[in-house]
Structure 1
């Protein structure tokens, strides 16, 4: 399926400005460029274009709210300059399985000041001696490279999970509290009956 057609299906009668997450994995880009994604997607925070035949990100529109960009398993070899200008808030970038062979190809990412996580699995650049150290030196803002920090600590679970866990704990506490209240309230009528029977 062509990328433009897939995007129109994904919209499901919404306007582009309402879309916060767009996944068009495994469809086809006719000319190796981003198609169908326009500046109208102004609220877009997550964009996934995995295995769509991209050779370049040059036609990526300005997406000021974009935080996460998944473009793994494409044919991108460079031309990452557009990202800093068009997606200044990008914090996660997955370029795994692309044709990035030289460290110099990553240099434009220095301008992505919010970039915290970068994935380059199966890119030619990963075969270079001292690859990880070199990338962390080149991109000091990056905290996680291929899922690990400079000390080989894995990316922690997302904050969303932690918040859900905390919510569950609060519900359990609330539930426990209401049970205690019930146990205090239940004996009161019994006590009243006992007192009434004593007075008779």
Structure 2
């Protein structure tokens, strides 16, 4: 994941999914390089992804001692896939790190109140979240509307590590289910 730190932002939910958001900056960006990606005060996911792919393509041309090629863009994917000597492929994803408060769809908190202490929940809520530029899928096509998908992988990893520590301490089998803000179900 290639991270860029964001200034203060305002999130507007896209089509009530809880997973996609329009991103606006709370303050005027005079000298911020992200300013070039604004369209009507909204951060443009497609502009950011195009520039990201272009930068990586230029850097690949500068590499002379390794055999690296960039795979064709996969429809709807925010990742740039690099094939290194055709033995390994690497996905590079642009992620915007935000230290702002989490979006409204997460204000009720993660559904972990019954098994995670308030101290740990508070600590997780203070962690930054990552916005991954991505096109929202509607029906069989990808919407040209620019939006941002929230990535909770770091928080999920923290929860998983906490659960493993608790399991080792208690030595009792546990099966927990959870629902992410996007509506996906998961089981630990």
Task: Give your verdict on TM over 0.5.
Answer: no
User: Which protein is richer in strand relative to its size?
Assistant: 2
- Flag the structure with larger Rg: 1
User: Structure 1 length normalisation: TM-score?
Assistant: 0.25
Task: Specify which structure has the higher proportion of helix.
Answer: 1
TM-score (norm 2): 0.26
Select the structure with the greater relative contact order (CA < 8 A; seq sep ≥ 6).
2
